[in-house]
Amino acid sequence: MMVVMRYRVETIFSRTALPELYTEIREKIRSELASVTDFAATSDLWSSQGMIPYISYTIHFLNKDWQLQARCIQTKYLPEDHTGEMIAESMEETLSMWNLKSECQVCITTDSVSNIVNAARRLSWPRLSCFGHNLHLGVLKAIKDDSRCSRALGLCRKIVAAFSGSWKRKREFTKAQINLNLQQHSQISVSFIGKFNYHDSDYCFNCFLFV
């Protein structure tokens, strides 16, 4: 039997709860940003698993207690060609939407892809190249032609695949961690072996600049 989906299913959550939550959080963040005088930013273009393109924009600032805060103020669907001009326009629009002045942005951190570098140059914004991204590229280049690394990564993939493909093995693995008083790390997927997440905050923290 084939089911044809012709109608959009809406719930109380999507019609009421979610919009109310969005409004509540948005106003809370807007109130926070009202007292921000200087901030840094990070931005990146990325695609969902369904290959839908987005651009995200996060600002980083110190609150009155000198604690580092980060707020993602925009994740925007960007179907247009990702030219430097289009990206620059999107980033300017994001700041304007939140009543943030570009003069108060001391620096923006991005990867080194030419279109986003061009966007920052068009706006005359100070830019830092993401440390995590550069580390990622450097490590991949270093291990690319090293047979020892290839063999080690191959063994790691087999080990991870063995546990990823069986919930029983995962269960026994967790029991062994508990019995041996080991830290219970979450299990990664095979696709992440040999890759480094350069969006991780521990990496990007070193890219933020405050003056």
CB 200 within 8 A of CB 127: no
Q: Which domains does the chain have, with CATH numbers?
A: 13-129 (3.30.420), 143-192 (no CATH)
Can you read off the two tokens belonging to residue 61?
A: 């600032």
**pLDDT for position 176:** 87
Judged on CB neighbours under 10 Å (0-12, 13-18, 19+), 149 is: middle
pLDDT given at position 183: 82
List Cβ neighbours of 140 (8 Å cut-off, separation of 6 or more). Answer: 194
pLDDT of residue 10: 64
Classified as helix, coil or strand, 3 is: coil
Rounded to whole angstroms, the Cα distance separating 99 from 94 reads 9
Q: Phi and psi for 25 in degrees, rounded to 5?
A: -70, -40
The reported pTM is 0.69
Q: What share of the chain is helix, strand, coil (3-state, %, to 5)?
A: 50, 20, 35
Instruction: Quote the pLDDT of residue 192.
Output: 52
Report the pLDDT value the prediction gives residue 149, as an integer from 0 to 100: 82
- Residue 39, SS3 per DSSP: strand
- Describe the crossing of helices 147-164 and 167-179 by its angle, rounded to 10 degrees: 100
Kindly report the number of other CB atoms within 10 A of residue 17's CB atom: 11
What's the alpha-carbon Rg for the chain, to the nearest Å?
22
In which residue ranges of the chain is pLDDT below 70?
1-10, 186-211
Residues in the chain: 211
> How confident is the model at residue 197, as a pLDDT?
46
